[in-house]
Amino acid sequence: MRILAIDVGTGTQDILLFDGGQEVENCLKMVMPSPTVVVAEQVRAATEHGCPILLEGVTMGGGPSHWAAMDHVRAGHAVYATPDAARTFDDDLAGVAEMGITVVSDDEAAALGSRPDVERVRLRDLRVDAVRAALRAFGADDRWDALAVAVFDHGAAPAGYSDRVFRFDYLAERLREVGGGGASIAQVLASFAYPRSAIPSGMTRLRAVADSLDEDVPVLLMDTAPAAVLGALEDPEVGGRTELIVANVGNFHCLAFRMRAGRIVGLFEHHTGELTSEELERYIDKLIAGTITNQEVFDDMGHGALMLEAPVVDGAGSEPRGHASDGSQRAPFLAITGPRRGLLRGSRLEPYLAVPHGDMMLAGCFGLLRAYAAHDTRIAETVVARLGPPLA
């Protein structure tokens, strides 16, 4: 059984070709520029040449691609986009037009695309063909039996509904619905993954990835933040803790889950770029104490916070590594993962840097494998045989 797991982030896309016939350390791995970074470079090249661009394809992750497109507009060059591509920047197409981007029909796009002076840029989160080309370049087997992909999805918020609120309401609803039923931490996190046919209608980026795939294999789509946290729990120093916080400090988003006695009892999600080291420490302190509020995180340009139950911690915050001098556990063990984990380098919280199966950058891929195992019993046997039983 071979599973291609791709964790699509803002800075990198992290790729693992899991092979049930090999030790996981010998499986093929790649850390490559993210699709939105690749698109941004294409746009910047067009800006240098001073030519109009046509964005076509499907809805994908924004960030760098959006910033590059805005720089193109500010440089006085035209940006055209098909409706699906335009929704990468805003679900409200009128809002996209206000940015200076001209939204065009498919027929108009075809006419523009035939002009020699227009640079066509295709938007999509997944380039399976590029993965195959890279594998072939090294003489590696480019076949797999299943595909698992993680992307960060704000969801399509209705008019007048903040996308930050919409996103966090989705997280909270899943936690209450699945966690309230007595599911384990791993099962709750795996509930943020869906087979291709079961993706919620509001999760437009997940659906765009699924719709753009022509792979004739089973496909699982998942949110990046729960995937990374689920993967971090693969580290034996992290999984199985009674009192635990796991934070994924990504290039664009930071999400931290508070766990206690096999349950998720709280979380917050913020934009990494809005946080200093001190601010992140302060939010983690409040998550430990159970005093963090949704309003304060939202007002600080984050997504939100939720406490499902008040944590009971003796001496919270005083000994962040989770043990008192007499050996008893007090404050929760703090583990962090993600490419921006250096934000807490030298922190007074003394975080543990999670390294699931020896590779922090593949935490999301390992989370995808565990999520797939939770959804498909045929895959579960292969995954458990190589990764061992879940630790949470």
The CATH code of the domain that includes 265 is 3.30.420.40
* Tens-digit pLDDT profile for residues 264-286: 999 999 999 999 999 999 999 99
- What H or E segment, with its residue span, contains residue 16? strand 12-19
Domain boundary among 103, 123, 143: 123
Average pLDDT in the 176-182 region? 85
Q: Is the pLDDT confidence value at 342 over 80?
A: yes
pLDDT band at residue 9 using 50, 70 and 90 as cut-offs: very high
The helix-helix angle for 224-232 and 363-375 (nearest 10°) equals: 100
Asked if residue 265 is part of any domain, the answer here is yes
Query: Which range (8-12, 14-18, 329-333) has the least confidence?
Result: 329-333
Highest mean pLDDT among 65-79, 176-190, 377-391: 65-79
For 75-91, what is the mean pLDDT?
A: 96
Work out the percent of the chain whose per-residue pLDDT is above 70: 95
In a domain, 369, yes or no: no
Q: What is the reported pLDDT for 331?
A: 78
What is the distance between the alpha carbons of residues 361 and 3, in angstroms, rounded to a whole number? Answer: 17
- 124 by DSSP, 3-state: which? coil
Domain assignment present for 15: no
**pLDDT value of position 312:** 61
pLDDT in tens, 293-315: 999 999 999 999 999 987 665 54
Predicted confidence at residue 309, as pLDDT, reads: 85
CATH of the domain at 71: 3.40.50.1100
**Tokens standing for residue 66:** 């959006």
pLDDT at 196: 93
User: Does 56 reside within a domain?
Assistant: yes
Domain total of the chain: 2
Mean pLDDT, residues 127-149 taken together: 96
- 3-state class of 38 per DSSP? helix
pLDDT digits (tens, 9 = 90+) for 24-49: 999 999 999 999 999 999 999 999 99
CB under 8 Å to 253, separation ≥6 — which residues?
10, 152, 225, 269, 270, 271, 272, 303
Share of the chain above pLDDT 90, in %: 86
Does 329 have pLDDT greater than 80?
A: no
323 has a pLDDT exceeding 60: no
Structure confidence at residue 273 (pLDDT):
95
Model pLDDT, residue 326: 41
Phi and psi angles of residue 2, each rounded to the nearest 5 degrees, phi first = -120, 130
| 63 belongs to a structural domain | yes
pLDDT of residue 330: 56
- What's the mean per-residue pLDDT of the chain? 92
In the prediction, which pLDDT does 142 show?
A: 95
Question: For 199-226, what is the mean pLDDT?
Answer: 93
**Position 131: which residue type?**
V
Q: What is the DSSP letter of 199?
A: -
Average pLDDT over residues 166-170: 93
Residue 310 lies in a domain: yes
| Residue 24 forms part of a structural domain | no
Note the pTM of the prediction, 2 decimals: 0.92
Domain presence at residue 329: yes
Last residue of a domain, one of 80, 102, 123: 123
- From 70, 90, 123, the end of a domain falls on 123
Quote the domain boundaries for residue 71. Answer: 35-123
- pLDDT the model gives residue 134: 97
Round to whole Å and give the CA distance between 295 and 304. Answer: 7
What's the pLDDT score for residue 131?
Answer: 96
